[in-house]
Chain A
Amino acid sequence: MVFKWLKKIRVFISLAFFLAISYLSIDYASTFSSSLTNSILYFQFLPSWIKFMNLMSFMATGYLVVLILTLLFGRVYCSFLCPLGTLQDLFHFISNRSGKRKSRKFSGPNNWVRYLFLTAPILLFVAGNILLLNLLDPYSNFSRILSNLVRPLYYGINNVVVDILEKWDIYAIKPVELKSVSLYAIGYSVFMLGLVAWMAFQRGRLFCNTVCPAGTFLGIISRLSLFRIRLDESLCNSCGICGNSCKSDCIDTLTKKVDFSRCVGCLNCLYVCPEGGVKFGLTQYKASPAPAKPEFNHQRRHFLKYSAFIPAVIAFLSKRSYSEGLNNGKIPVEKEYPVTPPGSVSIRHFINNCTACHLCVSACPTRVLQPAFLQYGLAGILQPTMDYNISFCNFECTVCSEICPTGAIKPIDLTVKKVTQLGIAKFIKENCVVYIDETDCGACSEHCPTKAVVMVYYKDKITIPEVTEEICIGCGACEYACPTDPKSIYVDGNIFHKQAEKPTEKSIGDTIQPADDFPF
């Protein structure tokens, strides 16, 4: 039967995306090329939209494709492409198999909830605050769950295998370090996973029709869809089998109506009907329901009432924009501004466009990218920042900019990256080993890739660091390497990334010729 095949194709496609995105979110070895990574993430609705606004590039048109698909077939995105949707299907599948599931039937839409969860993040986003979108976006939540909860397990298993192989003197697999965990990111991921799992166990795709802003948005679009699920009133005998198979509880078998705005396009209902009464075909406009209207108006009134809170929420969050979290305190290593990764243009650009999916956190080979807590202020919670206590930015690397799904980190050429100043190294002489103990150290200068930090004469044979700010790129190598506590050298972020001057290159070979005999 053709519908059964349709469902199998849906399961296949959704699992393919689910597995590919899952692996991307925990991979540490850049297994996939960045173009393949971008292709896998091409359809992710919200990131693609934000990326398109940032880059206007062809590779960011995935959201348009999703919109067209929705206009044609409804919310097939939710069942074919969204990894969080597939995760819910897995929970739902387990719940079905465990036999604990109650039989399902139609339930009305939670309109004020879903429209609040749609409009509040959008209004906040327009007002320049992406926090709610970050907290609700399905792809970002999925990726975050993988990155923060599954990745540590993955590393652990990897390292156990490494340990076992090393006992046999085999060094084929490389050990991998987590270096740091963010409790806030773990906490929110646990909460979101719990919420999604609980909702999926109880009510299938309830999350997609209440909490998920992408689902609700596509639901509005799907009101215009060309092809839709409907019940053939002449064939339907209101047996309820299709309603029981519906993960969205959106088939009302009594009135023989389908609330297509909540249909996630899983196609399960199509083949279960013994009478063949569930149709997927061109919209018959004359059948579009009028009776739902009064109720909807009522809901709308509710919604308007609650939406009055939105400006208050905006005001609350905006007040704590990133500049709030900064101070000019006396503690030496109190950074005035956090550092954002190369390609992110400015702190403002970054925090306005990053959905905190933590893909870059997983992919960063040095682990310098870590979820922020309040470095960007409350609005930027969970968005990655360059944590120079953990590591530093590899001079030869642009991985994060190549894979960022939203364009918060824009693609940047390696040659440009090498002169992009993320921040400026600041030396605090009073903390330095050379000043305090009068012994050589030089760890900062040793690690500096541009020699913006050099050792200059201090006294006797001893040298002390000196920073040439113009050629500093703010990679944090000096801060990471500095052995003192508190640090004697640290990078203060640039609000806008600047172009650093190229280090002066003088050809030493012109002045020094190797001797033609041994000097001893």
Chain B
Amino acid sequence: MKRRDFIRKTAGATIASTTALVFGNLNILFALPQSGPENGPFDMVAIMNGEPDVMFDMAIESLGGMEAFVKEGQTVVVKPNIGWDVIPERAANTNPQLVKRIIEHCYNAGASEVYVFDNTCDEWANCYKNSAIEPIAKEAGAKVVPGNLEKYYRPVEIPDGVTLKSAKVHELILDSDVFINVPVLKDHMATDLTIAMKNLMGVIWDRRWWHKNNLHQCIADFTTYCKPDLNVIDAYRVMMENGPRGVSEKDVVTFKTQIISSDIVAADAAAAKVFGTDPEDITYITQAAGMGVGTYQLDTLNINRIKL
């Protein structure tokens, strides 16, 4: 437990100091109209022009801190996109700095354990390593768990699903107290974009069945069952073309943006707009909204917009 305490304390100290740095030196928060928890509660935070970890510090602060989502002693599963065996600069996987800071916040809020996994597309051990997520998550004290074997997956019923009536879901999703979904915003050849809803394809076992049986509907159906407590969308580096794997770093544009919401549909809608796509053009977003999972009418939400 000593190591974890150490990590918790150092994480806390870093978070406190960076926040102080931003508050103290830039005084930016006070300059913005909707910048503190006093204008909340917010349905969503959108933040831009910062480093991934700094943006997350401020965004989660305005949602009441990680304590609002993680209670003392709870177990947390953080699910980034680690789908591809490529380096972070290719932006095919979630930004490792962001993953690290989320883990630190979780421990700081009193989490008893934080787990990280993905059911990858490329060979999993190389994805974990070369995405830089495994080493950095371990550094932050999280347990990095495989998602490549069927034994980790348990069947569940999806009563509200139209096409998808059941799925095999990773045990960590089923057993952890808190689920934080950390997708990366990317172009996607088959589903236009892959963001938070599509990222959930990494917590289930048989993706091929989804592909074979109306992919958009399956993605929407699964969100009626699986609702992350928090969706943190990494749009720091954004793959604009050749997604979801990408061909080179030339596919990537640096947006330095982050979107955080508990409403997975709203989060996807906002990210789609950042990308330059109308959320109404993305079938699974409208389908999920139609099933009452969330809303893509962003003007009905109380959004905290922070520009650094």
- Could you tell me which A residues sit within 8 Å of B by CB distance? 169, 171, 174-175, 177, 365-366, 391, 394-397, 433, 437, 439-443, 445-451, 454-455, 461, 463, 481, 483-484, 503, 505-509, 512-515, 517-520
- Pair A520/B215 contact, Cβ less than 8 Å: no
- Pair B46/A395 contact, Cβ less than 8 Å: no
B interface residue count range (under 10 / 10 to 19 / 20 to 34 / 35 or more):
35 or more
A–B complex contacts, Cβ < 8 Å, 15 sampled: A169-B143, A171-B145, A175-B146, A397-B123, A439-B215, A440-B283, A441-B212, A441-B215, A443-B211, A455-B190, A463-B189, A481-B121, A505-B250, A509-B254, A518-B307
Closest CB-CB distance, A384 to chain B, in whole Å? 17
Whole-angstrom distance between the alpha carbons of A175 and B213 in the complex? Answer: 30
Asked whether B305 is an interface residue with its Cβ less than 8 Å from the other chain, the reply is yes
Closest CB-CB distance, A301 to chain B, in whole Å? 58
Q: A394-B123, A455-B189 are contacts. A514–B212 as well, Cβ < 8 Å?
A: no
- Pair A483/B209 contact, Cβ less than 8 Å: yes
Closest CB-CB distance, A440 to chain B, in whole Å? 5
- Pair B189/A454 contact, Cβ less than 8 Å: yes
The 10 closest A-B pairs by CB, nearest first: A442-B190, A483-B208, A483-B212, A455-B189, A439-B214, A483-B211, A519-B273, A445-B189, A514-B255, A507-B250
Binds A, one of B20-28, B53-61, B62-70, B240-248: B240-248
- Name the residue among A446, A454, A463 with the largest chain B CB count within 10 angstroms: A446
Closest CB-CB distance, A240 to chain B, in whole Å? 58
Set of chain A residues within 8 Å of B242, measured between Cβ atoms: 451
Within the complex, which residue of A169, A395, A442, A481 is in contact with B215, where a contact is CB–CB below 8 Å?
Answer: A442
Whole-angstrom distance between the alpha carbons of A512 and B255 in the complex? Answer: 10
**Beyond A171-B143, A177-B149, 15 extra complex contacts between A and B, CB < 8 Å:** A365-B125, A394-B122, A394-B123, A395-B85, A440-B214, A440-B216, A446-B189, A446-B190, A481-B208, A483-B211, A507-B250, A514-B256, A517-B307, A518-B307, A519-B273
- Pair A514/B252 contact, Cβ less than 8 Å: no
Closest CB-CB distance, B6 to chain A, in whole Å? 19
Asked whether B32 is an interface residue with its Cβ less than 8 Å from the other chain, the reply is no
Asked whether B126 is an interface residue with its Cβ less than 8 Å from the other chain, the reply is yes
- Pair A441/B211 contact, Cβ less than 8 Å: yes
Interface contacts (Cβ under 8 Å), in number, total 135
Set of chain A residues within 8 Å of B255, measured between Cβ atoms: 514
Asked whether B130 is an interface residue with its Cβ less than 8 Å from the other chain, the reply is yes
Closest CB-CB distance, A159 to chain B, in whole Å? 8
Closest CB-CB distance, A195 to chain B, in whole Å? 36
Within the complex, which residue of A481, A508, A513, A515 is in contact with B252, where a contact is CB–CB below 8 Å?
Answer: A508
Set of chain B residues within 8 Å of A396, measured between Cβ atoms: 85-86, 126, 130
Set of chain B residues within 8 Å of A461, measured between Cβ atoms: 281, 283
Closest CB-CB distance, B82 to chain A, in whole Å? 14
Whole-angstrom distance between the alpha carbons of A446 and B120 in the complex? Answer: 12
Asked whether B274 is an interface residue with its Cβ less than 8 Å from the other chain, the reply is yes
- Pair A433/B212 contact, Cβ less than 8 Å: yes
- Pair B189/A512 contact, Cβ less than 8 Å: no
Q: Which of B127-163 contact A (CB under 8 A)?
A: 130, 143-146, 148-149
Set of chain A residues within 8 Å of B238, measured between Cβ atoms: 514
Q: Which of B264-308 contact A (CB under 8 A)?
A: 269-270, 273-274, 276, 281, 283, 298-299, 303, 305, 307
Secondary structure call for the A interface = loop
Asked whether B93 is an interface residue with its Cβ less than 8 Å from the other chain, the reply is no
Set of chain B residues within 8 Å of A445, measured between Cβ atoms: 189-190
- Pair B215/A448 contact, Cβ less than 8 Å: no
Set of chain A residues within 8 Å of B244, measured between Cβ atoms: 446
- Pair B215/A440 contact, Cβ less than 8 Å: yes
- Could you tell me which B residues sit within 8 Å of A by CB distance? 46, 48, 85-86, 113, 121-123, 125-126, 130, 143-146, 148-149, 188-191, 207-209, 211-217, 238, 240-242, 244-245, 247-248, 250-257, 269-270, 273-274, 276, 281, 283, 298-299, 303, 305, 307
Within the complex, which residue of A171, A394, A454, A508 is in contact with B144, where a contact is CB–CB below 8 Å?
Answer: A171
- Pair B130/A441 contact, Cβ less than 8 Å: no
Set of chain A residues within 8 Å of B298, measured between Cβ atoms: 520
Secondary structure call for the B interface = mixed
Closest CB-CB distance, B144 to chain A, in whole Å? 7
- Pair B123/A503 contact, Cβ less than 8 Å: no
Set of chain B residues within 8 Å of A451, measured between Cβ atoms: 242, 247
Whole-angstrom distance between the alpha carbons of A472 and B303 in the complex? Answer: 45
- Pair A514/B215 contact, Cβ less than 8 Å: no
- Pair A365/B123 contact, Cβ less than 8 Å: yes
Within the complex, which residue of A169, A433, A481 is in contact with B113, where a contact is CB–CB below 8 Å?
Answer: A169
Residue in A closest to B83 when the chains form the complex, CB atoms: A446
Closest CB-CB distance, A506 to chain B, in whole Å? 7
Q: A365-B123, A440-B216 are contacts. A520–B303 as well, Cβ < 8 Å?
A: yes
Q: A461-B281, A508-B240, A508-B252 are contacts. A442–B211 as well, Cβ < 8 Å?
A: yes
Closest CB-CB distance, A372 to chain B, in whole Å? 22
Set of chain B residues within 8 Å of A463, measured between Cβ atoms: 189-190
Closest CB-CB distance, B181 to chain A, in whole Å? 19
- Pair A433/B211 contact, Cβ less than 8 Å: yes
Within the complex, which residue of B149, B189, B269 is in contact with A442, where a contact is CB–CB below 8 Å?
Answer: B189
Set of chain B residues within 8 Å of A514, measured between Cβ atoms: 238, 253-257
Closest CB-CB distance, A48 to chain B, in whole Å? 30
Whole-angstrom distance between the alpha carbons of A506 and B250 in the complex? Answer: 6
Closest CB-CB distance, B210 to chain A, in whole Å? 8
Set of chain B residues within 8 Å of A454, measured between Cβ atoms: 189
Within the complex, which residue of B121, B216, B247, B276 is in contact with A503, where a contact is CB–CB below 8 Å?
Answer: B247
Set of chain B residues within 8 Å of A171, measured between Cβ atoms: 143-146
Residue in A closest to B75 when the chains form the complex, CB atoms: A169
- Pair B247/A449 contact, Cβ less than 8 Å: yes
- Name the residue among A437, A441, A455 with the largest chain B CB count within 10 angstroms: A441
- Pair B274/A518 contact, Cβ less than 8 Å: yes
Whole-angstrom distance between the alpha carbons of A520 and B295 in the complex? Answer: 14
- Pair A446/B188 contact, Cβ less than 8 Å: yes
Closest CB-CB distance, B214 to chain A, in whole Å? 4
Whole-angstrom distance between the alpha carbons of A169 and B212 in the complex? Answer: 35
Whole-angstrom distance between the alpha carbons of A461 and B281 in the complex? Answer: 8
